[in-house]
Amino acid sequence: MKGFVDLFILFILLIVLIPAMLIAPEALKYRVQAQYLLNIQSFTSTDVLLSILSATNPDELNSKKQKPSLEIVGERILISSQNVEFLREDLDKLVKSKCYLFESEKIKLADKSKDCPELPIKIKNIKIVEIVVPFNPTKLVEGVKLVVK
Amino acid sequence: MKKGVSIFHMIIFLAILLMVGLGYVYYIAFTEVVNFEKGVKETTVIEGTNIMELLRKNLQQALRYSYYQSSFEVAKVGGNVKLNDMPTWRKYEDIQGFPKDIKSILKDRTLEIFNKYSNSLNDEGVTTVEYTSLDAVKKDDGEYVSALAKDKKGQDEELQVSRAFFYHLYNKANTFILVPIRTLTLFEIGENNFVLSDKIQEKAIGGITSTNFKSNYNQKSQTSEGSTRKCGVNPSAEEVFTEVNNFGLEDGKKNIKTNIDLQLNSLEKELSTSTISTELLNREIQSDIVPVCAQTTEECCFPPLVSNILCIKHWKRATCTFSYFGAAKVKIAITDKGNKYPVYDSADKEPIAMRNIQLNFNIISGNDYSRKLVQ
């Protein structure tokens, strides 16, 4: 009887230990991969935001001269026209999925593709940065957000 | 005995297997955790680098906005920011009203605004600095503006980004930017033409005794007999200053004239808001005899060469020369029409808008500084 119990315990131990030995590293790898993917995606949106804001574009509403996008966006946020359509070409190029939402309190630019999911969805990739806006006594910085769907 | 040994061996085997297995699991787990931590640290540091890069771009843009706003404010009131009223840069020979430190006023105001931006960019894990000095230099394609942050020892201060305990990123806070603007050029045009010299006297008031005025009267005199009586009419201030409308000023550089217009407000506006005065000092009349032929043809001759044209009368033509003293208070507005900038103006219904930079000030001048007819 005692031998039978020992064998049974052995059997149970083997049943538990072998899958644990096989699964545990895979689970860890999966977790690391997921975190890595999240980080990469997050950096992608950061990079996209930085690239877009660092680029220069013609200011169609004013002098049509080349100006930093950071300046044009800042002006559009505060001054009457909130049209940031000029960023679409850059966003289409830089966001691989072509599905995005660029917005602040006053401006909004969304993808045009019908294949893109509507918000709200489970967003994995969102980045908010603060940019300076033209001088005024109330607010000198404004948050702009990029959601890559 | 055989069975007992077997169980004992099995337990030993299991124990070893368990230890090896757990060891393997822990090793994998430990390695992955170390790698994971390392990866997280790396990505966090990279994120910090991105934050620093964005901070520097924001500071450069903030310096642009600060210079736009400062240029607008200082130029609008001719450098008279303390009284917030348009100053009179020249009263005849007196140029005390010209703010000699207008460039310093511009720099100080820019620095004040820029430090507000710098404070606004302070955030959790992001430390900005208080800037201590600012300079602006005129270049061909704009004005080069530099803001420096020095500590008490004269060392450069640094921006700091530290979103986690294990890293601190530093970068020098000094900020440089080429601003596409010509504020210093406007100041120079104003100073060169109205302080260091007096273009109002040279080009407008100083000319009222000369030929423009004389020829007008000469033409009128041809239409009436005995025209010398026309010389008794004193021209009004409006006639004298007819020429004081627009005249171009150049600063000697190509293309500058096309984008910077000196705009003297129109005479009508000036008359309603400013003082213009003239005083007849002298009148000279020179007369000569001119033949006027009355005939169906309008041909004229003297002496008559063709028999069928009859000269019936000789008229006296008078040339009247007036000498006048003239003085005026003129509003000067020098505008850079090349660009508009996003600036704040509390006096406007739409406070934040795209506006030109315009330098405003007054000038009181006359063709004789000793006769201060206009105050």
Give me the interface pTM, i.e. the ipTM: 0.75
Which residues from chain B sit within 8 angstroms of residue A18, using beta carbons?
21
Instruction: Tell me, yes or no, if A137 comes closer than 8 A to chain B by beta carbon.
Output: yes
| B353, two tokens | 């808008």
CA B90 to chain centre: 20
Q: Which domain holds residue B193?
A: 184-366
CB-CB: which of A17, A130, A136 is closest to B344? Answer: A136
Are the CB atoms for B260 and B335 separated by under 8 Å? yes
Asked whether residue B36 is domain-assigned, the answer is no
Which residues from chain A sit within 8 angstroms of residue B53, using beta carbons?
50
Q: CB B306: neighbour CB atoms within 10 A? A: 9
Asked whether residue B5 is domain-assigned, the answer is no
Radius of gyration of chain A (CA): 25
Instruction: Tell me, yes or no, if B226 comes closer than 8 A to chain A by beta carbon.
Output: no
Beta-carbon contacts of B187 under 8 Å, excluding residues fewer than 6 positions away, are: B75, B79, B102, B103, B106, B359
Are the CB atoms for A85 and A61 separated by under 8 Å? no
Which among A4-8, A98-102, B233-237 has the top mean pLDDT?
A: A98-102
For chain B, which ranges sit under pLDDT 70? 1-5, 84, 203-325
**pLDDT range class, residue A119, cuts 50, 70, 90:** low
Asked whether residue B8 is domain-assigned, the answer is no
Contact B351 A136 (CB under 8 A): yes
Which residues from chain B sit within 8 angstroms of residue A78, using beta carbons?
342, 352
Q: What was the pLDDT predicted at B32?
A: 75
- Each residue's pLDDT tens digit, B312-337: 444 445 555 556 667 777 778 888 77
Residues B116 and B229 occupy one common structural domain? no
Task: Spell B183-219 as b/e; 16+ CB within 10 A means b.
Answer: bbbbbebbbebbbeebbbbebbbbbbbeeebeeebbe
Which residues is B90 bridged to in the sheet?
A: B363
Beta-carbon contacts of B210 under 8 Å, excluding residues fewer than 6 positions away, are: none
Contact B61 A74 (CB under 8 A): yes
Give chain A's mean pLDDT: 79
Contact A21 B354 (CB under 8 A): no
Asked whether residue B310 is domain-assigned, the answer is yes
H helix runs in B305-374, sequence order: none
**pLDDT range class, residue A65, cuts 50, 70, 90:** confident
Are the CB atoms for A129 and A143 separated by under 8 Å? yes
CB-CB: which of B53, B66, B120 is closest to A50? Answer: B53
Please, what is the angle between helix B2-76 and helix B183-194, to 10°? Answer: 20
Residues B273 and B344 occupy one common structural domain? yes
Residues B130 and B202 occupy one common structural domain? no
Closest CA to B162 of B120, B119, B122: B122
Residues B257 and B206 occupy one common structural domain? yes
Contact B57 A53 (CB under 8 A): yes
Contact A32 B117 (CB under 8 A): no
As to burial, measured by CB atoms within 10 angstroms (0-12 exposed, 13-18 middle, 19+ buried), residue B52 is middle
Q: What was the pLDDT predicted at A91?
A: 86
CA B352 to chain centre: 17
Contact B32 A29 (CB under 8 A): yes
Q: What was the pLDDT predicted at B129?
A: 95
**Residue that has been written with the tokens 């100083």 in this structure:** B206
Q: What was the pLDDT predicted at B102?
A: 93
**pLDDT range class, residue A37, cuts 50, 70, 90:** low
Instruction: Tell me, yes or no, if B28 comes closer than 8 A to chain A by beta carbon.
Output: yes
Dist CA B5 CA A105 (whole Å): 77
Beta-carbon contacts of B151 under 8 Å, excluding residues fewer than 6 positions away, are: B157
Q: Please state, in angstroms and as integers, the Cα–Cα distance from residue A27 to each residue in A35, B20, B28, B29, B41, following that order.
A: 12, 19, 11, 10, 21
Span A63-84, average pLDDT: 81
Q: What was the pLDDT predicted at B206?
A: 53
| Interface mutation target, options A140, A142, A144, A145, chain B, most CBs of B under 10 Å | A140
Higher pLDDT, A72 or A4: A72
Contact B58 A135 (CB under 8 A): no
| Interface mutation target, options B64, B336, B350, chain A, most CBs of A under 10 Å | B64
Q: What was the pLDDT predicted at A10?
A: 73
Contact A68 B21 (CB under 8 A): no
Residues B208 and B299 occupy one common structural domain? yes
CB-CB: which of B11, B35, B340 is closest to A63? Answer: B340
Residues B195 and B339 occupy one common structural domain? yes
Which residues of chain A from 80 to 119 reach within 8 Å of chain B, CB to CB?
80
Task: Examine the fold and report which residue of B148, B181, B214 is the final residue of a domain before the chain moves on.
Answer: B181
Which residues from chain B sit within 8 angstroms of residue A31, using beta carbons?
32, 36
Name the closest residue on chain A to residue B112, using Cα atoms.
A135
Higher pLDDT, A48 or B264: A48
Residues B131 and B265 occupy one common structural domain? no
Task: Examine the fold and report which residue of B181, B212, B242 is the final residue of a domain before the chain moves on.
Answer: B181
Residues B261 and B327 occupy one common structural domain? yes
Name the closest residue on chain A to residue B355, using Cα atoms.
A62
Q: What was the pLDDT predicted at B110?
A: 97
Asked whether residue B201 is domain-assigned, the answer is yes
Q: What was the pLDDT predicted at B217?
A: 35
| B218, two tokens | 């000469």
Residues B195 and B329 occupy one common structural domain? yes
Alpha-carbon torsion angle B349, B179, B123, B43, nearest 10 = 130
Q: What was the pLDDT predicted at B42?
A: 81
Is 70 exceeded by the pLDDT of residue A136? yes
Residues B289 and B222 occupy one common structural domain? yes
Number of compact structural domains in chain B: 2
Q: What was the pLDDT predicted at B167?
A: 84
Task: Examine the fold and report which residue of B162, B181, B200 is the final residue of a domain before the chain moves on.
Answer: B181
Q: What was the pLDDT predicted at A43?
A: 62
Dist CA B346 CA B112 (whole Å): 18
Q: What was the pLDDT predicted at B201?
A: 76
| Interface mutation target, options A6, A127, A135, chain B, most CBs of B under 10 Å | A135
Beta-carbon contacts of B154 under 8 Å, excluding residues fewer than 6 positions away, are: none
| B360, two tokens | 């405003």
Can you give the three-state secondary structure of A37-84, one letter per residue? Answer: HHHHHHHHHHHHHHHHHHCEEECCCCCCCEEEHHHHHHHHHHCCCCCC
Which residues is B130 bridged to in the sheet?
A: none
Dist CA B110 CA B298 (whole Å): 71
Is 80 exceeded by the pLDDT of residue A95? yes
Query: Cα-flanking dihedrals φ and ψ of residue B299, to 5°?
Result: -70, 155
Asked whether residue B17 is domain-assigned, the answer is no
Closest CA to A135 of B174, B175, B142, B70: B70
Are the CB atoms for B283 and B323 separated by under 8 Å? yes
Asked whether residue B256 is domain-assigned, the answer is yes
Q: What was the pLDDT predicted at A33?
A: 72
